[in-house]
Protein backbone atom coordinates (compact mmCIF):
# COMPACT_ATOMS: atom_id res chain seq x y z
CA UNK A 1 0.00 0.00 0.00
CA UNK A 2 1.27 3.50 -0.83
CA UNK A 3 2.52 5.49 2.13
CA UNK A 4 0.35 8.49 3.04
CA UNK A 5 2.74 11.44 2.67
CA UNK A 6 2.70 13.91 5.59
CA UNK A 7 1.03 17.13 4.52
CA UNK A 8 3.82 19.27 6.03
CA UNK A 9 6.28 17.40 3.80
CA UNK A 10 4.23 18.12 0.70
CA UNK A 11 4.32 21.83 1.39
CA UNK A 12 7.99 22.11 2.41
CA UNK A 13 9.54 24.61 -0.03
CA UNK A 14 12.39 23.58 -2.32
CA UNK A 15 15.91 24.98 -2.34
CA UNK A 16 16.99 26.29 -5.77
CA UNK A 17 18.76 24.36 -8.52
CA UNK A 18 21.38 25.84 -10.85
CA UNK A 19 22.50 24.74 -14.30
CA UNK A 20 25.88 26.33 -15.12
CA UNK A 21 27.02 26.46 -18.72
CA UNK A 22 30.34 24.87 -19.70
CA UNK A 23 32.00 28.30 -19.52
CA UNK A 24 30.54 29.11 -16.10
CA UNK A 25 31.49 25.64 -14.87
CA UNK A 26 35.21 26.25 -15.48
CA UNK A 27 35.58 28.16 -12.26
CA UNK A 28 33.78 26.84 -9.13
CA UNK A 29 34.48 29.80 -6.85
CA UNK A 30 33.45 32.43 -9.40
CA UNK A 31 30.27 30.50 -10.12
CA UNK A 32 29.31 29.93 -6.50
CA UNK A 33 30.11 33.56 -5.65
CA UNK A 34 27.87 34.62 -8.53
CA UNK A 35 24.84 32.67 -7.27
CA UNK A 36 25.62 33.23 -3.61
CA UNK A 37 23.50 36.29 -2.95
CA UNK A 38 20.38 34.54 -4.21
CA UNK A 39 21.10 30.94 -3.20
CA UNK A 40 22.28 31.70 0.35
CA UNK A 41 18.73 32.91 1.12
CA UNK A 42 17.83 29.20 1.16
CA UNK A 43 20.93 28.02 3.06
CA UNK A 44 21.54 25.22 0.55
CA UNK A 45 21.29 24.75 -3.20
CA UNK A 46 21.86 22.16 -5.87
CA UNK A 47 24.20 22.57 -8.85
CA UNK A 48 23.82 20.28 -11.86
CA UNK A 49 27.06 20.03 -13.83
CA UNK A 50 26.99 20.38 -17.62
CA UNK A 51 29.36 17.40 -17.94
CA UNK A 52 28.80 13.71 -17.08
CA UNK A 53 29.95 11.67 -14.15
CA UNK A 54 32.81 9.17 -14.48
CA UNK A 55 31.77 5.64 -15.43
CA UNK A 56 30.81 3.51 -12.42
CA UNK A 57 33.89 1.27 -12.84
CA UNK A 58 36.14 4.32 -12.54
CA UNK A 59 34.37 5.49 -9.37
CA UNK A 60 34.66 2.04 -7.78
CA UNK A 61 38.33 1.66 -8.80
CA UNK A 62 39.10 5.12 -7.33
CA UNK A 63 37.23 4.27 -4.14
CA UNK A 64 39.01 0.95 -3.70
CA UNK A 65 42.38 2.62 -4.25
CA UNK A 66 41.46 5.25 -1.70
CA UNK A 67 40.25 2.66 0.86
CA UNK A 68 43.37 0.53 0.39
CA UNK A 69 45.57 3.52 1.12
CA UNK A 70 43.88 3.90 4.52
CA UNK A 71 44.15 0.37 5.91
CA UNK A 72 47.30 -1.11 7.51
CA UNK A 73 47.12 -4.24 5.31
CA UNK A 74 46.21 -2.24 2.16
CA UNK A 75 42.87 -4.03 1.84
CA UNK A 76 40.05 -2.00 0.24
CA UNK A 77 37.89 -2.14 3.37
CA UNK A 78 36.30 0.30 5.80
CA UNK A 79 34.44 0.28 9.10
CA UNK A 80 31.09 1.87 9.83
CA UNK A 81 29.42 3.73 12.66
CA UNK A 82 26.01 2.78 13.97
CA UNK A 83 23.42 5.52 14.20
CA UNK A 84 20.32 5.39 16.32
CA UNK A 85 16.95 5.87 14.63
CA UNK A 86 13.86 6.47 16.76
CA UNK A 87 14.11 6.91 20.51
CA UNK A 88 13.06 5.43 23.75
CA UNK A 89 11.42 7.89 26.17
CA UNK A 90 12.16 5.47 29.00
CA UNK A 91 15.92 5.96 28.61
CA UNK A 92 15.60 9.60 29.61
CA UNK A 93 16.96 10.68 26.26
CA UNK A 94 16.03 14.06 24.83
CA UNK A 95 13.68 13.41 21.88
CA UNK A 96 16.02 15.29 19.52
CA UNK A 97 19.24 13.52 20.52
CA UNK A 98 20.46 10.37 18.78
CA UNK A 99 23.40 8.13 19.69
CA UNK A 100 26.27 7.23 17.40
CA UNK A 101 28.80 4.49 18.13
CA UNK A 102 31.47 2.48 16.34
CA UNK A 103 29.99 -0.66 14.76
CA UNK A 104 33.28 -2.52 14.85
CA UNK A 105 32.27 -4.13 11.53
CA UNK A 106 34.59 -4.08 8.51
CA UNK A 107 33.23 -4.24 4.96
CA UNK A 108 34.36 -4.27 1.37
CA UNK A 109 32.29 -2.08 -0.93
CA UNK A 110 30.30 -5.00 -2.31
CA UNK A 111 29.64 -6.43 1.17
CA UNK A 112 28.30 -3.08 2.38
CA UNK A 113 26.20 -2.66 -0.75
CA UNK A 114 24.69 -6.10 -0.20
CA UNK A 115 23.97 -5.34 3.46
CA UNK A 116 22.36 -2.01 2.54
CA UNK A 117 20.20 -3.67 -0.12
CA UNK A 118 18.90 -6.33 2.27
CA UNK A 119 18.18 -3.75 4.96
CA UNK A 120 16.21 -1.54 2.56
CA UNK A 121 14.12 -4.46 1.29
CA UNK A 122 13.30 -5.57 4.80
CA UNK A 123 12.61 -2.10 6.15
CA UNK A 124 10.47 -0.74 3.33
CA UNK A 125 8.66 -4.02 2.84
CA UNK A 126 7.22 -2.86 -0.45
CA UNK A 127 7.04 -4.51 -3.86
CA UNK A 128 6.75 -1.25 -5.68
CA UNK A 129 9.34 1.51 -5.89
CA UNK A 130 8.48 4.16 -3.27
CA UNK A 131 8.61 7.85 -4.17
CA UNK A 132 11.15 10.08 -2.40
CA UNK A 133 8.31 11.75 -0.46
CA UNK A 134 7.02 8.36 0.70
CA UNK A 135 10.51 7.41 1.90
CA UNK A 136 10.81 10.78 3.63
CA UNK A 137 7.51 10.18 5.43
CA UNK A 138 8.68 6.73 6.54
CA UNK A 139 11.98 8.20 7.75
CA UNK A 140 10.28 10.73 10.02
CA UNK A 141 7.87 8.08 11.28
CA UNK A 142 10.86 5.85 12.05
CA UNK A 143 12.64 8.71 13.86
CA UNK A 144 9.59 9.10 16.11
CA UNK A 145 9.12 5.36 16.66
CA UNK A 146 10.82 2.46 18.42
CA UNK A 147 14.64 2.55 18.34
CA UNK A 148 16.78 0.58 15.90
CA UNK A 149 20.08 1.35 14.19
CA UNK A 150 21.53 1.90 10.73
CA UNK A 151 25.14 2.06 9.61
CA UNK A 152 27.05 4.91 8.01
CA UNK A 153 30.67 5.03 6.88
CA UNK A 154 30.99 8.79 7.23
CA UNK A 155 33.86 11.22 7.57
CA UNK A 156 36.42 8.86 6.00
CA UNK A 157 39.38 10.91 4.70
CA UNK A 158 39.61 10.40 0.94
CA UNK A 159 37.53 10.67 -2.18
CA UNK A 160 35.97 8.66 -4.98
CA UNK A 161 37.68 11.12 -7.35
CA UNK A 162 41.20 10.50 -8.56
CA UNK A 163 43.51 13.49 -8.09
CA UNK A 164 44.26 13.96 -11.74
CA UNK A 165 41.48 11.96 -13.29
CA UNK A 166 44.47 10.08 -14.63
CA UNK A 167 42.76 6.70 -14.74
CA UNK A 168 40.40 7.92 -17.42
CA UNK A 169 40.97 7.33 -21.07
CA UNK A 170 37.72 8.88 -22.19
CA UNK A 171 37.16 11.01 -25.24
CA UNK A 172 34.73 13.22 -23.35
CA UNK A 173 35.07 15.53 -20.35
CA UNK A 174 33.82 14.37 -16.93
CA UNK A 175 33.38 16.17 -13.59
CA UNK A 176 36.58 14.47 -12.40
CA UNK A 177 38.84 16.37 -14.81
CA UNK A 178 37.37 19.77 -13.87
CA UNK A 179 38.11 22.11 -10.97
CA UNK A 180 35.01 20.63 -9.29
CA UNK A 181 36.95 17.42 -8.59
CA UNK A 182 36.60 17.36 -4.81
CA UNK A 183 40.31 16.75 -4.33
CA UNK A 184 40.89 20.19 -5.90
CA UNK A 185 37.80 22.20 -4.97
CA UNK A 186 38.84 23.50 -1.53
CA UNK A 187 42.03 24.95 -2.97
CA UNK A 188 40.53 25.98 -6.30
CA UNK A 189 41.51 29.39 -7.61
CA UNK A 190 39.92 32.12 -5.54
CA UNK A 191 38.98 29.87 -2.60
CA UNK A 192 40.38 31.39 0.55
CA UNK A 193 41.30 27.89 1.76
CA UNK A 194 43.91 27.81 -0.99
CA UNK A 195 46.10 29.81 1.35
CA UNK A 196 45.95 27.38 4.26
CA UNK A 197 49.44 26.07 4.87
CA UNK A 198 48.40 22.66 6.26
CA UNK A 199 46.02 20.01 5.02
CA UNK A 200 42.95 19.60 7.24
CA UNK A 201 41.01 16.42 6.31
CA UNK A 202 37.38 17.26 5.57
CA UNK A 203 38.19 20.98 5.29
CA UNK A 204 40.92 21.33 2.65
CA UNK A 205 40.82 17.71 1.51
CA UNK A 206 37.65 15.68 1.03
CA UNK A 207 35.94 13.05 3.14
CA UNK A 208 34.06 10.19 1.57
CA UNK A 209 30.64 8.94 2.76
CA UNK A 210 29.08 5.50 2.19
CA UNK A 211 25.48 5.38 3.31
CA UNK A 212 22.43 3.15 3.42
CA UNK A 213 18.69 3.72 3.87
CA UNK A 214 18.16 6.27 6.71
CA UNK A 215 21.89 6.96 7.35
CA UNK A 216 21.59 10.48 8.69
CA UNK A 217 23.58 13.64 9.29
CA UNK A 218 22.46 15.82 12.19
CA UNK A 219 21.73 19.55 12.18
CA UNK A 220 25.03 21.40 12.05
CA UNK A 221 26.98 24.25 10.50
CA UNK A 222 30.44 23.78 9.00
CA UNK A 223 33.65 24.43 10.93
CA UNK A 224 34.24 28.20 11.01
CA UNK A 225 30.90 28.58 9.19
CA UNK A 226 32.65 27.77 5.90
CA UNK A 227 30.85 26.75 2.72
CA UNK A 228 30.60 23.03 2.01
CA UNK A 229 30.52 21.31 -1.33
CA UNK A 230 29.08 17.81 -1.57
CA UNK A 231 29.09 15.57 -4.62
CA UNK A 232 27.06 12.39 -5.05
CA UNK A 233 28.98 9.83 -7.10
CA UNK A 234 26.48 6.98 -7.23
CA UNK A 235 23.59 5.24 -5.56
CA UNK A 236 20.32 6.26 -3.96
CA UNK A 237 19.29 9.86 -3.35
CA UNK A 238 19.94 11.96 -0.26
CA UNK A 239 17.38 14.37 1.19
CA UNK A 240 18.81 17.64 2.53
CA UNK A 241 17.19 20.31 4.70
CA UNK A 242 18.68 23.78 4.91
CA UNK A 243 18.12 26.92 6.92
CA UNK A 244 19.38 30.31 5.73
CA UNK A 245 21.98 32.13 7.77
CA UNK A 246 19.47 34.86 8.66
CA UNK A 247 17.45 32.27 10.60
CA UNK A 248 20.43 30.62 12.38
CA UNK A 249 19.73 32.40 15.66
CA UNK A 250 16.02 31.56 15.51
CA UNK A 251 16.95 27.93 14.79
CA UNK A 252 19.33 27.80 17.78
CA UNK A 253 16.57 29.29 19.88
CA UNK A 254 14.15 26.52 18.87
CA UNK A 255 16.77 23.96 19.97
CA UNK A 256 17.21 25.80 23.26
CA UNK A 257 13.52 26.23 24.05
CA UNK A 258 11.66 23.35 22.33
CA UNK A 259 14.26 20.65 22.86
CA UNK A 260 15.77 21.75 26.16
CA UNK A 261 12.83 23.59 27.68
CA UNK A 262 14.90 26.77 27.95
CA UNK A 263 17.24 25.06 30.43
CA UNK A 264 20.37 25.68 28.40
CA UNK A 265 22.05 28.93 27.40
CA UNK A 266 22.44 30.09 23.77
CA UNK A 267 26.13 29.09 23.94
CA UNK A 268 25.25 25.64 25.26
CA UNK A 269 22.78 25.26 22.37
CA UNK A 270 25.62 25.96 19.90
CA UNK A 271 27.89 23.50 21.73
CA UNK A 272 25.16 20.83 21.67
CA UNK A 273 24.62 21.25 17.93
CA UNK A 274 28.38 21.04 17.35
CA UNK A 275 28.30 17.46 18.67
CA UNK A 276 26.28 16.55 15.54
CA UNK A 277 23.70 14.34 17.26
CA UNK A 278 20.62 16.60 17.01
CA UNK A 279 17.81 15.28 14.81
CA UNK A 280 14.74 17.48 14.60
CA UNK A 281 11.91 17.30 12.11
CA UNK A 282 11.48 20.32 9.84
CA UNK A 283 7.83 20.25 10.90
CA UNK A 284 8.84 21.60 14.33
CA UNK A 285 10.92 24.33 12.71
CA UNK A 286 8.22 25.41 10.29
CA UNK A 287 5.67 25.55 13.11
CA UNK A 288 8.08 27.73 15.10
CA UNK A 289 8.39 30.09 12.12
CA UNK A 290 11.94 29.05 11.13
CA UNK A 291 12.28 28.87 7.32
CA UNK A 292 13.43 25.45 6.12
CA UNK A 293 14.09 24.30 2.54
CA UNK A 294 14.48 20.85 1.07
CA UNK A 295 16.36 19.36 -1.85
CA UNK A 296 16.90 15.87 -3.18
CA UNK A 297 20.47 15.12 -4.24
CA UNK A 298 20.86 12.46 -6.93
CA UNK A 299 24.05 11.01 -8.44
CA UNK A 300 25.97 13.71 -10.36
CA UNK A 301 24.42 16.52 -8.27
CA UNK A 302 26.49 18.96 -6.26
CA UNK A 303 25.05 20.47 -3.10
CA UNK A 304 26.46 23.70 -1.72
CA UNK A 305 25.81 24.77 1.86
CA UNK A 306 26.39 28.45 2.58
CA UNK A 307 28.13 30.01 5.59
CA UNK A 308 26.26 29.56 8.88
CA UNK A 309 23.43 27.66 7.16
CA UNK A 310 22.31 24.82 9.42
CA UNK A 311 21.67 21.67 7.43
CA UNK A 312 20.78 18.02 8.00
CA UNK A 313 19.51 15.06 5.99
CA UNK A 314 19.40 11.33 5.34
CA UNK A 315 19.99 8.74 2.59
CA UNK A 316 17.39 6.78 0.64
CA UNK A 317 19.61 3.71 0.22
CA UNK A 318 23.17 2.64 -0.57
CA UNK A 319 25.13 5.61 -1.92
CA UNK A 320 28.56 7.21 -2.14
CA UNK A 321 29.34 10.91 -1.81
CA UNK A 322 32.30 13.23 -1.18
CA UNK A 323 32.29 16.41 0.91
CA UNK A 324 34.81 19.19 1.42
CA UNK A 325 34.83 22.79 2.63
CA UNK A 326 35.63 25.86 0.61
CA UNK A 327 35.33 29.58 1.05
CA UNK A 328 34.28 32.16 -1.49
CA UNK A 329 35.08 35.75 -0.51
CA UNK A 330 31.43 35.89 0.69
CA UNK A 331 32.51 33.83 3.72
CA UNK A 332 34.56 36.81 4.94
CA UNK A 333 31.31 38.48 5.99
CA UNK A 334 30.84 35.92 8.77
CA UNK A 335 34.35 34.62 9.43
CA UNK A 336 35.19 36.84 12.40
CA UNK A 337 31.97 36.10 14.26
CA UNK A 338 32.35 32.39 13.49
CA UNK A 339 35.80 32.43 15.11
CA UNK A 340 34.37 34.13 18.19
CA UNK A 341 31.50 31.61 18.45
CA UNK A 342 34.02 28.79 18.13
CA UNK A 343 36.11 30.25 20.93
CA UNK A 344 32.97 30.56 23.09
CA UNK A 345 32.41 26.80 22.92
CA UNK A 346 36.09 26.06 23.58
CA UNK A 347 36.81 24.65 20.11
CA UNK A 348 40.35 25.51 19.05
CA UNK A 349 40.53 27.50 15.80
CA UNK A 350 41.43 25.62 12.60
CA UNK A 351 42.39 28.72 10.66
CA UNK A 352 42.87 32.48 10.85
CA UNK A 353 40.53 34.45 8.60
CA UNK A 354 42.80 37.52 8.61
CA UNK A 355 45.71 35.49 7.31
CA UNK A 356 43.58 34.05 4.51
CA UNK A 357 42.19 37.45 3.60
CA UNK A 358 45.64 39.06 3.57
CA UNK A 359 47.04 36.24 1.44
CA UNK A 360 44.20 36.49 -1.06
CA UNK A 361 44.45 40.29 -1.23
CA UNK A 362 48.18 39.97 -1.70
CA UNK A 363 47.75 37.47 -4.52
CA UNK A 364 45.47 39.94 -6.31
CA UNK A 365 47.94 42.75 -5.94
CA UNK A 366 50.98 40.80 -7.07
CA UNK A 367 49.59 38.94 -10.04
CA UNK A 368 48.71 41.97 -12.14
CA UNK A 369 46.10 42.16 -14.88
CA UNK A 370 46.83 38.66 -16.24
CA UNK A 371 46.67 36.98 -12.91
CA UNK A 372 45.07 33.56 -12.71
CA UNK A 373 43.59 33.75 -9.22
CA UNK A 374 40.15 32.92 -10.54
CA UNK A 375 41.09 30.60 -13.35
CA UNK A 376 41.25 31.17 -17.07
CA UNK A 377 39.99 34.52 -18.27
CA UNK A 378 37.73 32.71 -20.64
CA UNK A 379 35.05 35.23 -21.45
CA UNK A 380 33.92 38.78 -20.92
CA UNK A 381 31.40 37.45 -18.41
CA UNK A 382 34.04 35.67 -16.32
CA UNK A 383 36.28 38.69 -16.51
CA UNK A 384 33.54 41.01 -15.28
CA UNK A 385 32.69 38.59 -12.49
CA UNK A 386 36.33 38.32 -11.47
CA UNK A 387 36.62 42.09 -11.38
CA UNK A 388 33.62 42.19 -9.06
CA UNK A 389 35.22 39.60 -6.80
CA UNK A 390 38.55 41.47 -6.81
CA UNK A 391 36.80 44.69 -5.84
CA UNK A 392 34.94 42.88 -3.06
CA UNK A 393 38.14 41.29 -1.70
CA UNK A 394 40.08 44.55 -1.81
CA UNK A 395 37.29 46.41 -0.13
CA UNK A 396 36.94 43.75 2.58
CA UNK A 397 40.67 43.79 3.09
CA UNK A 398 40.76 47.55 3.52
CA UNK A 399 37.78 47.51 5.86
CA UNK A 400 39.54 44.85 7.91
CA UNK A 401 42.72 46.88 8.12
CA UNK A 402 40.76 49.99 9.06
CA UNK A 403 38.79 48.06 11.67
CA UNK A 404 41.99 46.71 13.24
CA UNK A 405 43.46 50.16 12.97
CA UNK A 406 40.59 51.64 14.96
CA UNK A 407 40.89 48.91 17.57
CA UNK A 408 44.61 49.49 17.99
CA UNK A 409 44.04 53.19 18.13
CA UNK A 410 41.40 52.73 20.83
CA UNK A 411 43.72 50.43 22.74
CA UNK A 412 46.42 53.03 22.64
CA UNK A 413 44.01 55.75 23.75
CA UNK A 414 45.21 57.64 26.76
CA UNK A 415 48.80 56.58 26.27
CA UNK A 416 51.40 57.91 23.90
CA UNK A 417 51.34 54.62 21.93
CA UNK A 418 49.74 55.07 18.51
CA UNK A 419 50.57 52.21 16.24
CA UNK A 420 48.58 53.33 13.20
CA UNK A 421 47.00 56.50 12.01
CA UNK A 422 43.26 56.47 12.56
CA UNK A 423 42.84 58.79 9.59
CA UNK A 424 43.64 56.14 7.01
CA UNK A 425 41.19 56.22 4.10
CA UNK A 426 39.79 53.29 2.14
CA UNK A 427 41.41 53.64 -1.26
CA UNK A 428 44.44 55.74 -0.51
CA UNK A 429 46.64 53.00 0.97
CA UNK A 430 45.59 50.38 -1.55
CA UNK A 431 46.72 52.52 -4.46
CA UNK A 432 50.13 52.77 -2.92
CA UNK A 433 50.51 49.06 -2.37
CA UNK A 434 52.62 47.15 -4.83
CA UNK A 435 54.73 44.05 -5.00
CA UNK A 436 57.79 46.01 -4.01
CA UNK A 437 56.32 46.97 -0.66
CA UNK A 438 55.46 43.67 0.94
CA UNK A 439 56.40 42.86 4.49
CA UNK A 440 56.03 39.89 6.75
CA UNK A 441 54.11 40.26 9.98
CA UNK A 442 56.62 39.85 12.79
CA UNK A 443 54.03 37.99 14.86
CA UNK A 444 52.59 35.37 12.48
CA UNK A 445 54.79 35.59 9.39
CA UNK A 446 51.87 36.49 7.09
CA UNK A 447 52.83 38.66 4.18
CA UNK A 448 51.22 42.09 4.49
CA UNK A 449 50.53 45.07 2.32
CA UNK A 450 52.49 48.20 2.95
CA UNK A 451 49.33 49.82 4.29
CA UNK A 452 49.97 47.99 7.52
CA UNK A 453 52.55 49.64 9.69
CA UNK A 454 54.85 47.01 11.02
CA UNK A 455 56.67 47.89 14.13
CA UNK A 456 59.73 45.78 14.64
CA UNK A 457 60.97 46.59 18.11
CA UNK A 458 64.66 46.46 18.79
CA UNK A 459 65.69 44.24 21.64
CA UNK A 460 65.82 47.07 24.13
CA UNK A 461 62.43 48.43 22.97
CA UNK A 462 60.89 44.95 23.26
CA UNK A 463 62.23 44.78 26.78
CA UNK A 464 60.51 48.06 27.65
CA UNK A 465 57.29 46.97 25.97
CA UNK A 466 57.20 43.75 27.93
CA UNK A 467 57.69 45.67 31.11
CA UNK A 468 54.61 47.70 30.11
CA UNK A 469 56.73 50.76 29.69
CA UNK A 470 55.24 53.33 27.38
CA UNK A 471 57.09 53.46 24.07
CA UNK A 472 56.28 55.86 21.29
CA UNK A 473 56.72 54.54 17.78
CA UNK A 474 58.94 57.50 17.06
CA UNK A 475 61.24 56.40 19.83
CA UNK A 476 64.65 55.61 18.37
CA UNK A 477 64.36 52.25 20.16
CA UNK A 478 61.95 51.02 17.50
CA UNK A 479 62.50 50.74 13.80
CA UNK A 480 59.54 51.45 11.61
CA UNK A 481 59.50 49.01 8.71
CA UNK A 482 56.37 50.01 6.81
CA UNK A 483 54.35 53.15 6.30
CA UNK A 484 50.89 54.03 5.12
Ligand X SMILES: O=C(O)CCC(=O)C(=O)O
Residue 315 CB, nearest approach to ligand X (Å) = 8
Q: Summarize as ranges the residues that interact with ligand X (CB under 6 A).
A: 154, 209, 217, 228, 230, 305, 311, 321, 323
| Residue 457 Cβ vs ligand X, minimum distance, rounded to whole Å | 44
Give the residue with the Cβ less far from ligand X, 174 or 305: 305
Q: List, in order, residues 6 or more apart from 450 with CB less than 8 Å away.
A: 429, 432, 433, 434, 437, 438, 439, 482, 483, 484
- Least CB distance from residue 453 to ligand X, whole Å? 40
**Least gap, CB of 202 to ligand X (angstroms):** 9
233 vs 311 by CB, closer to ligand X: 311
Residue whose CB is less far from ligand X, 217 or 331: 217
Nearer Cβ to ligand X (191/396): 191
328: left (phi over 0), alpha (psi -120 to 50) or beta: beta
CB 473 within 8 A of CB 418: yes
Q: How far is the CB of 1 from ligand X (least distance, A)?
A: 31
- In this complex, which beta carbon is closest to ligand X, that of residue 221 or of residue 424? 221
User: Of 158 and 429, which CB lies nearer to ligand X in the complex structure?
Assistant: 158
For residue 181, give the nearest of 233, 239, 235 by alpha carbon.
Answer: 233
Q: Which long-range contacts (CB under 8 A, 24 or more apart) does 2-6 make?
A: 2/128, 2/130, 2/134, 3/130, 3/134, 3/137, 3/138, 4/137, 5/131, 5/133, 5/134, 5/136, 5/137, 6/137, 6/140, 6/283
Task: Select 195 or 209, whichever has its Cβ closest to ligand X.
Answer: 209
Torsion angle of C-alpha atoms 253, 259, 263, 269, degrees rounded to 10: -50
Tell me how far, at minimum, the Cβ of 154 lies from ligand X, in Å.
5
Give CA 198 to chain center in angstroms.
17
Residue 156 DSSP SS3: strand
Minimal distance, residue 311 CB to ligand X, in Å:
6
DSSP-derived pairing of the beta strands 44-47 and 17-18: parallel
Amino acid sequence: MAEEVFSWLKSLPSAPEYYPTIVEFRDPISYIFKIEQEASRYGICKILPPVPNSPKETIIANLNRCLSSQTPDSSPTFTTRKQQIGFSPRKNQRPAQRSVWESGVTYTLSQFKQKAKQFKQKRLNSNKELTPLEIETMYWKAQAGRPFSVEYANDMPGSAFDEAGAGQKLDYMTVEVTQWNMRRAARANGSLLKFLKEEIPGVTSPMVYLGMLYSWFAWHVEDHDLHSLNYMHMGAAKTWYGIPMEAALAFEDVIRTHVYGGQISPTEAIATLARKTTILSPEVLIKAGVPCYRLLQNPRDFVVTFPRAYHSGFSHGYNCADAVNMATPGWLRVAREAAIRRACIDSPPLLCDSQLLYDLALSLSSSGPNRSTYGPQSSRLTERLNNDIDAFVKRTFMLDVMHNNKLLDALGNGSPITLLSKHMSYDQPYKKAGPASIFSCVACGSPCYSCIVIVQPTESAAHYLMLNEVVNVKDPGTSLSGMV
